[in-house]
Chain A
């Protein structure tokens, strides 16, 4: 089935000739190969389906107009912002792709610490605008090059700052949403035109229909505007970034410090996070650079902070005894930033960090205290602009294992997971041999602490199909370990039950089969009912897990 001229012209009338294309070459660039940038679905070599047309709406009314046409003609649609993840791409053949690039505004309410943003306002631009007013936002671990609105409304959105700022869903205030039915929903206080400040109610919160622990990744329509909560930023209005590319650094003043805190064992590691959960001292807390792997991290840090260095320098660097010692020192570590509002506040926070280290037998890594390293790490974690370092080694990566939730449980299995990965690295060549443990993630994935969120960075080559396929087998192996501990799906496969490996959406029958076996199937049956209520023509793919309630009633 192809898009008729009539439908195309109807869409063109809404967005304007310049903002729609059905040229094959253009449409082809709106396909994704999950191995290249999957986000928990893959690795897979297949391309997602080819859209019938690509549409660039410029405002909510245009989005609504497009969706109404889709409903009228039964056309599937999906909207995306930066198109990084496979989630944003269509899942069927008779579908159009919406690209929300034209919608990118940011407005700051300084007093009430809020930003009102559109879809293409990426973390970097929202943060830059907020900093002018002494404010900051939670930039999720995926990095500042991704859409704040998309993260907060439609995916997970926890990151280095979540311990002090909360995760995406905690930072959502009023939201404007074009439902798949074509209706415009404005949540909370905005619905009645009272302002953007409250995203809940009136009565039960309708935002709860559209976003749970994850968002619906487009299956529940298009979020077109959002008010997000901002947080204090006691730093300069503009990041004073200096240094030679790519080793950008920033000195933010005496009231900012970035440390790599190291621990003698996992128990001490977990105890330290427990302390941090309870004392409101951290601005940022993230195990970031371990993504390079236990064997390589200190050396990789030296490479990315040296404008003249390259990956090929690794073997030589690894002969350096000082770096070897530093790498060993940071075997079990994470990075923190403390930011003092005042001198006294800073003194307290420094003292608290020292106290925690003393109580847990931990220490600050020496190499990361050197000015260049310190300023690099501080800028890195503040702006989170180097997301692409996920790919630096091989060109592709997947987050695997996925030890989330209770940090005390996570540490119990961390070495087993690391050992499993190391064994694979040593036995096969599919994945980069980075030393087993390559877990990366937030000290807390929720505001105020209490829940951690790690993924193991598994690096492979998207061009080398053996590497891609071998990585898939590795993930299968991980899943066995996950099953042993009832951890649910491996991080790499979190989305494998919402999109087929060939890029196409699931059928209802397939979803029924999967979710009827869930521990609490009515969770999925309710999602089915919600989808019926707001997406009656089922037009946006299958990123929401649904179970036909009639199957339960029959049972």
Chain B
């Protein structure tokens, strides 16, 4: 779909504020009621999903133009998808996130990008990684000595995909290694794409760089197919969403599991038991791309149909991604299973979790906005009184780590795999 194809949605938005707040039924306090980081930081209506609908109409009608402010505005969105979920609490016919990303693509097509995005995309083109400064040559260093199959050379059913963040960030590399060992210890035979292990490019799509995304995705799909992969396991929530939802649209037909799903499964099957007590209170951050954006993909092609004169439906029935069936329980089951761990929930959780701020590479392209967003989440975690903020995404962890220590935010941030390690 092109931006103009979203026109009906733009005009059917009723400005209900659902995209700016957590589901109203869930509001517990003034402090943690809002849920769009973009308008939360910038305050102008234009930054909300509703405002973006209005802006798109103006751009399409030629009333506004993509000057520097508008370009910045369009890209000041982490693509966290909450607006989409918030809208779908009551509406059935608006795909708000898709529109926001399409708006970014419209900007990209017209050469309107942010200065901070250029090095990211340059690095992707050159080094197949979306972390500026990282090199393709070093991508698999983290996996040395782990005895995983090289799926370029031999077939394998289960591919372990670390993703750029785990692959290149020293403190996170240990977490990836721990995840591999854990799965191997439970009898899972893992492989990697080796030299063909390249960025999933999901973030490129989040940023509106559709061509780059499709190019990278198609290459990866070919590699997975060639290797006979039937299951992809990843510890990275971004990669998870990319494979499960975005690659599926392009024809990838494999099972995609996040490491937490695998661990949860192993616990349920009795194949993984925790022997050590880990006495701590924790609070869990639902990563956007594992949670509300982690639902299964259902292929669909159809058209709008009106019934009862004007009621919108689709023919055939269109899948509705409203976050209902994201991955929320698996990580919580793990936390419950670890002896000594007490879970205290934040106010904004599950499908209405607050974003960490790292989405769509905003860490690099909009660092202040990204840092503020992370800071908000750390404040919320602090408010629970928990000792530890646990998450299941390296981007979230990294952004939270950077936010801790500022303005009295003192919580410890752990990847859930770290915590699991402590209990083994």
Contacts and interface: CB of A to CB of B under 8 A. Distances in A.
A26 B69 contact: yes
Interface in B270-315: 305-315
Contacts, number: 243
B309 A432 contact: yes
A147 to B, nearest CB: 10
Contacts of A428: 309
Interface in A139-154: 143-146
Interface stretch (B7-15, B155-163, B406-414): B7-15
A129 B30 contact: yes
Interface in B1-48: 7-8, 11-18, 21, 23-30, 33, 43-46
A248 B73 CA distance: 33
B312 A394 contact: yes
Contacts of B351: 245
Contact of B30 (A30, A125, A386): A125
Contacts of B311: 311, 314, 393-394, 432, 459
A116 B151 CA distance: 64
Nearest to A104: B30
Nearest to B54: A29
Nearest to A429: B309
Nearest to A379: B25
B154 interface: no
A460 B11 CA distance: 12
A399 to B, nearest CB: 13
A54 B44 contact: yes
Interface residues of A, number: 86
Nearest to B320: A310
Interface in A363-406: 379, 383-396
A506 interface: no
Contacts of A467: 310
Contact of A82 (B13, B17, B44): B17
B323 interface: yes
A45 B17 CA distance: 21
Contacts of B309: 425, 428-433
B324 interface: yes
Interface stretch (A157-165, A172-180, A236-244, A273-281): A236-244
Contacts of A310: 92, 313, 317-318, 320
A117 B294 CA distance: 38
A314 B307 contact: yes
B46 to A, nearest CB: 4
Contacts of A388: 14, 16, 18, 89-91
A128 B25 contact: no
A145 B23 CA distance: 10
A106 B322 contact: no
A313 B17 CA distance: 27
A396 B25 contact: no
B70 A29 contact: no
B25 A239 contact: yes
A54 B69 CA distance: 14
Contacts of B246: none
A307 interface: yes
B416 to A, nearest CB: 23
B64 A28 contact: yes
Nearest to A84: B15
A250 interface: yes
B12 A395 contact: yes
A29 B310 contact: no
A383 B58 CA distance: 35
A444 interface: no
Given A246-B90, A463-B8, A124 B24 contact: yes
Contact of B85 (A245, A250, A315): A245
Given A99-B43, A125-B30, A245-B89, A459 B310 contact: yes
Contact of B310 (A121, A312, A464): A464
Given A26-B69, A124-B33, A310-B92, A241 B14 contact: no
B215 interface: no
Interface in A25-41: 25-26, 28-33, 35-37
Given A245-B323, A314-B311, A396-B14, A28 B63 contact: yes
Interface string A102-145: 10111000000000000001101111110010000000000111
A296 interface: yes
A311 B318 CA distance: 10
A487 interface: no
Contact of A390 (B14, B27, B312, B323): B14
Interface stretch (A16-24, A192-200, A216-224, A540-548): A16-24
Contacts of B67: 23-25
B45 A29 contact: yes
A239 B27 CA distance: 8
B59 interface: yes
Contacts of B21: 122, 124, 145
Given A428-B309, A430-B309, 15 more contacts: A21-B44, A23-B69, A24-B67, A25-B67, A32-B15, A56-B43, A122-B33, A128-B30, A145-B18, A245-B322, A310-B317, A311-B312, A312-B317, A395-B13, A395-B93
Interface of A: 18-19, 21, 23-26, 28-33, 35-37, 54, 56, 82-84, 99, 101-102, 104-106, 121-122, 124-129, 132, 143-146, 238-239, 241, 244-246, 248, 250, 296, 307, 310-315, 379, 383-396, 425, 428-434, 459-464, 467
17 contacts: A25-B46, A29-B54, A35-B11, A37-B14, A54-B44, A56-B43, A101-B43, A106-B30, A124-B33, A125-B27, A128-B33, A146-B17, A245-B88, A310-B313, A385-B25, A388-B18, A429-B310
Return the 8 tightest CB-CB contacts between A and B, nearest first.
A385-B24, A395-B12, A312-B313, A388-B16, A388-B90, A28-B58, A25-B70, A29-B54
Interface of B: 7-8, 11-18, 21, 23-30, 33, 43-46, 50-52, 54-55, 57-59, 63-67, 69-70, 73, 85, 88-93, 305-315, 317-318, 320, 322-324, 351
